[in-house]
Structure 1
């Protein structure tokens, strides 16, 4: 009986970690699917619009069921903030992120998305929501992590190095022919590779701006499901308009039982819906920093799967650059974790405590890479952190 109780405790304590591993596997699968459909000539703008449609259809019922009695009044200010969040964190960030797939590999895009915390820290510092705190160890680690991460991104983009050969599975889901394989190195080393990097960086910049506005929105509208549903709705409407303006071929809008429908439903319902709730629960159980440390796992999975079944080539520069990006991510997380510990100590004044609380929300949210619900006093902090998974879903979601 005692052994059974011990076993149950072990399983219960391991649940957040297991769920986070599964969540990162789900996100890795989403990136692989988007790479496959992008190579098949699918219009990604239309696919993103359908994704947001599925996400909206999933989140709206949750908001109506769980927050029907606790939802605050919806004001025009909140609506405008939701519009900006939908634009920056959904429509713009996702279109930029997945557009980079046409110029680079899925591994490259996922690696670049790990720069989001560093970029958010820089932007938050410029607008006065984050203090560099150069004189403290935590502040110096955040600055150093930002520099290391950006250096890794530059190395990943500009340096190739020798090719790293993994074992071959003889599986190529993208169906490269011999000529394409021969031309791939020069193609990826051309200006298109730099263009793909610029798309990724622009997506990360949009994502970082979204986090800053999201933190402001949570102060006025601290509801996880309702806020997410509102942002998804705004992003869906924007994505539809954008796709209609850029694609007039109605055959591209038809959904059938194929990879396009699977990708839209999977990314909308599973990634922007189910995994959002799972990550939000993990944040409540273990905190945002615990959730953040699992982000590079999707990079490892995508790199392995891409090399084995998508015929993506790994080079020394890619591996070194990705390693530096991940190191920079953990340095920023460590610095923020240390600042949060200092914040939990008794504060000399109420105004100082409120200022640090707002700063912590922004930087901690940026560490959870582009979405649990507790009492009214904790909803605000939980929602501002958990909503960040909408970007990728980008991520990023991304992302």
Structure 2
């Protein structure tokens, strides 16, 4: 039984990548058929809030004896994270998905670890030593990731699949200007989500109950997204979910968001964030195959080359981060040898300590706890 338990985290992450791929594919199909991206974000966040709010309430009730309360400072951090990292991120992501393709959306989300490294380095949360091999690996990985993203947006090359399978009235093909605009939206989405990762450092310090803060972010993002959609969508009929595909895509995305929160949190607690992040490119492969076969999306040589570069750059960044974590573990071991008590060492290895500014593990989380 112990052997099977050892494979559970990997099985969970593989299943999670299929969930993420399903969100990209089903949502893309619904958007092409008329569902508004902004309205979709509102429904998705609302469903996720309805699922997470009761769970957060139960968790809060069990922690009531601790005397913790959400102060003004914590609320301000959560509000900023929900506005930038959830509302802006989700609207940019699904707008980019609508204008480009599900393959491009899945591939460009792999930029997040590299973008987060840049933001963390600028804000002083990440150590940068040019003479260090791991730092060089993270810098080169970031450059490769960004170069791959640019290649996906600008280098089309010959068509490989589905040359004439798109409807004649479709403007979603890479040959149109909307492809570049969609890639820009997706790049902006990755930047917003990376900023959300960085903001988790002060949020975790002021609000240690992550389920409680996530439920608040989902609720605030629902309100913020609703105001944006009401202002941008003048036609009230766009709020009606007519087809079964539209209803199913909203339910699937909302429930998938809640499920991914628990699965990824459990996997990270078992194997760490690096293990979780290593499975991100699998979603790109799944989406690439099914989008070409099921959605008949056009496949370009430039897109494949760019996606491959993004994945290579991602692993270069993750390798550098893995070396950082090894150094932190060695330092902790040295502290233990320098008369540090075992009790204090256990405290230092707690989940809250792992989110400290020294190792910044949170940025290695995938897109996919996407926009709680």
Tell me if TM exceeds 0.5.
Answer: yes
- Cα distance change of structure 1 residues 99 and 220 upon mapping to structure 2, 3 Å threshold: same
Mapping of 1:1-399 within 5 angstroms?
8-70=1-63, 72-165=68-161, 176-177=166-167, 179-180=168-169, 187-255=173-241, 258-269=244-255, 271-346=256-331, 357-361=356-360, 364-370=361-367, 389-391=369-371
Q: 1:56-75 CA deviation, whole Å, 9 max, x = no partner? A: 11011111112323262110
SS where residue 19 of structure 1 aligns? Answer: helix
- Rounded Cα–Cα distance in structure 1 between residues aligned with 2:99 and 2:227: 24
Which deviates the most, 98-107 or 277-286? 98-107
Q: For each residue in 1:228-271, what CA deviation from the matched residue of structure 2 results, as whole angstroms up to 9, or x when unmatched?
A: 101101101101111111123222223456222211111112x2
Contact 1:292–1:367 (CA under 8 A) maintained in structure 2: yes
Residues in 2 aligned to 1:359 and 1:50: alpha-carbon distance in whole angstroms: 37
Give the whole-Å Cα distance in 1 for the aligned partners of 2:263 and 2:320: 26
For 1:41 and 1:299, the matched residues in 2 are separated by 24
The two structures, once aligned, show a CA RMSD in angstroms of 2.4
- Could you report, residue by residue, the CA deviation over 1:287-322 in whole angstroms, capped at 9, with x for unpaired residues? 111111001111001100010011112222111111
CA distance in 1, matches of 2:86, 2:301: 33
SS in 2 for 1:164: strand
Asked whether the equivalents of residues 115 and 194 of structure 2 are also in contact (C-alpha less than 8 Å), the reply is: yes
Return closer, same or farther for 1:355/1:274 CA change in 2, 3 Å cut-off.
Answer: closer
Shift, 1:189, TM fit? 3.0
Q: Is the 8 A contact 2:79 2:217 kept in 1?
A: yes
> What is the aligned length?
353
How far apart are 1:192 and its partner, in Å?
2.1
Distance 1:217 1:365 in 2: 12
308-317 or 336-345, larger mean C-alpha shift: 308-317
Are the counterparts in 1 of residues 268 and 276 from structure 2 also a CA contact under 8 Å? yes
Q: Distance in 2 between matches of 1:101 and 1:290?
A: 27
Q: Partners of 1:331 and 1:248 in 2: how far apart?
A: 45
Contact 1:67-1:226 at 8 Å conserved across structures: yes
Quote the Cα distance in structure 2 between the aligned partners of 1:323 and 1:81: 36
Contact map agreement 2:113 2:363 (CA 8 A) in 1: yes
Shift of 1:345: 1.6
**Residues 132 and 143, structure 1, Cα contact 8 Å, conserved in 2:** no
Partner secondary structure for residue 161 of structure 1 = coil
CA distance 1:27–1:355, change in 2 (3 Å): closer
* TM, length-normalised to structure 2: 0.89
